[in-house]
Structure 1
Amino acid sequence: MVREPREGRGRAKAEQTDDVIDKLVTINRVAKVVKGGRRFAFAALVVVGDQKGRVGYGAGKAREVPEAIRKATERARKNMIRVSMKDGRTLHYDLEGHYGAGKVVLRSAPPGTGIIAGGPMRAVFESLGVSDVVAKCLGSRNPHNMIKATFEALANADSPRQVAQRRGKKISQLFRSHTADKEAAAEVTNG
C-alpha cells in the first residue's frame, strides 16, 4: 500500500505568504545521553513577522540545523499574533512582560528614536514593523525567556479602541491633551 504525503490526507496546507520575513534568534546544540554515548541535535528559535503588525515565534529541534530552522519557522507562522501600533511605528503605551525569571519593559518612543533593544527583542520589533521603541530586559537573559516575556507583553496590550470600549468612552476622549483640559477649566473659572 502506497501512502500519500501527509499534506494530502485531509490537512489543508497553510498558504506560504512571501510578505512574511523570518529572523533566526538563536541556534543551540543540545545532547541526549543514551546508552552508547551522546546524541547531538540542534534547537533553533525563530521570529517571523509581516512588518505590518503581525509577529510570531517558534522553536524547533532536529538532528540537522536546516531542519530545526524549518520546524521553528513553521511553528512561528502558526503562532502569529496581531499587535496594535501607534502611527504604524511604535507602541501605544509602555508595557511590561514576565516569563519565568525574565522581565521585559517596553516603552513607546518619539519618531527618530529607532529600535533600542537587545538581541532577541530587536528581532521581534524588526519583524513586527516597529521603528521607534525602547526596550529593557531585566532578570533572565535567556533568549527563550526574553522572547516569551516580550510576546506576553505584546499579547496583553490593548488597542485604544478596546480601552475606550472597556471604559465606555469615545477614543477622542482618551487622547484629550492636558493643556486643553486646563484651558477649559480656566474658561469655566473666568467666564
Structure 2
Amino acid sequence: MSNFIIDNSDIIQKTDGLLEKLIVVKRTSKVSKGGRVFGFSALTVVGDKNGRFGIGRGKAKEVPFAIQKAMENARKNLVFIKLNGDTICHAIKDKFCSTKMIMLPASKGTGIIASFVMRSIFEALGVKNVFAKCFGSKNPNNIARCAMKCFLNMGKDVEARSARYSFLVKNK
C-alpha cells in the first residue's frame, strides 16, 4: 500500500461558499483469484473559513469517485466552532486511538504551525494563527478525527471547568 500525497493547491474548489480541500488519497489492494483488485480511499475537508468545517472519507474503485464521495461526506459532517478572532479560544488537548494532539492559540502574525493535515483543517476553518502538535500515530485519518474531537470538546471543557469551580463565586 502506498499513500499519494497530492498538492492541495491544484485540488481546491469553491462551491456554495465552501472551500473544499483534498488531504490524502490512498490506494488499497485485495488479492483475488483473478489477480489484484485496486481500490482508493480519499480524505477531504470542507469549510467556509468562518468557523464551519467538516471532514469526510470516501472509498471507490476509481480516484474521482472516491474524492466525490469524500466531499459529500464532509458536507454532511459540517460543525460550527466558535473562534477568537483568527485563532482558537484556548489550549486544547485530546486523544483519538493512539493519536494525541495539542493545540495552542498563537498571537497575530504567527501563522499556522502544524502538519499538512492540520494545516488543511485550520485553513478550511478560518484559523490563521495557531500552534498544533501531534504525538503518537501520524495516520492522516486519525489526525483528522482527533482534530474533530478536539474542536467538539473545546466548549465542553470550558463549561465543565466553570461548573466545577462555581462554588467559589458568591451568589448575590
Q: TM-score range by the shorter chain?
A: 0.7 to 0.9
What do residues 93-150 of structure 1 show as CA deviations (whole Å, max 9, x unaligned)? 0001211111111001111111111110100000000000000011101101111111
Q: Any idea what SS the aligned residue of 1:86 has? A: coil
How much does 1:84 deviate?
0.8
List gaps (5 residues or longer) in structure 2: 1-13
Are the structure 2 counterparts of residues 140 and 83 from structure 1 closer, same or farther at C-alpha, using a change threshold of 3 Å?
A: same
User: Which residue of structure 2 lines up, in the alignment, with residue 149 of structure 1?
Assistant: 146
User: Which residue of structure 2 lines up, in the alignment, with residue 115 of structure 1?
Assistant: 112
Q: How many Å separate the matches in 1 of 2:94 and 2:119? A: 15
Q: How many Å separate the matches in 1 of 2:90 and 2:156? A: 9
User: Which residue of structure 1 lines up, in the alignment, with residue 49 of structure 2?
Assistant: 51
List gaps (5 residues or longer) in structure 1: 1-15, 174-191
**Aligned pair count?**
154
**Pick from 49, 58, 81: which aligns with 1:60?**
58
CA contact (8 A) 1:94 1:108 kept: yes
Q: Any idea what SS the aligned residue of 1:155 has? A: helix
Are the structure 2 counterparts of residues 96 and 148 from structure 1 closer, same or farther at C-alpha, using a change threshold of 3 Å?
A: same
User: Which residue of structure 1 lines up, in the alignment, with residue 97 of structure 2?
Assistant: 100
CA contact (8 A) 1:84 1:159 kept: no
Are the structure 2 counterparts of residues 71 and 132 from structure 1 closer, same or farther at C-alpha, using a change threshold of 3 Å?
A: same
**Pick from 122, 127, 130: which aligns with 2:124?**
127
Identity across matched positions, percent: 42
Q: Any idea what SS the aligned residue of 1:33 has? A: strand
Matched residue type, 2:92 = L
User: Which residue of structure 2 lines up, in the alignment, with residue 73 of structure 1?
Assistant: 71
Matched residue type, 1:82 = F
Are the structure 2 counterparts of residues 126 and 165 from structure 1 closer, same or farther at C-alpha, using a change threshold of 3 Å?
A: same
Q: TM-score, normalised by structure 1?
A: 0.74
Q: Any idea what SS the aligned residue of 1:157 has? A: helix
Q: How many Å separate the matches in 2 of 1:97 and 1:160? A: 11
State which structure, 1 or 2, has the greater radius of gyration over its C-alpha atoms.
1
Runs of 4 or more consecutive aligned structure 1 residues displaced over 6 Å after TM superposition: none
Matched residue type, 1:133 = V
User: Which residue of structure 2 lines up, in the alignment, with residue 5 of structure 1?
Assistant: none
Are the structure 2 counterparts of residues 161 and 96 from structure 1 closer, same or farther at C-alpha, using a change threshold of 3 Å?
A: closer
Q: Any idea what SS the aligned residue of 1:156 has? A: helix
Comparing both structures, which one devotes a greater share of its residues to strand?
A: 2
Q: How many Å separate the matches in 1 of 2:116 and 2:63? A: 20
User: In the alignment, is residue 158 of structure 1 matched against residue 146 of structure 2?
Assistant: no
Are the structure 2 counterparts of residues 67 and 34 from structure 1 closer, same or farther at C-alpha, using a change threshold of 3 Å?
A: same
Matched residue type, 1:63 = K
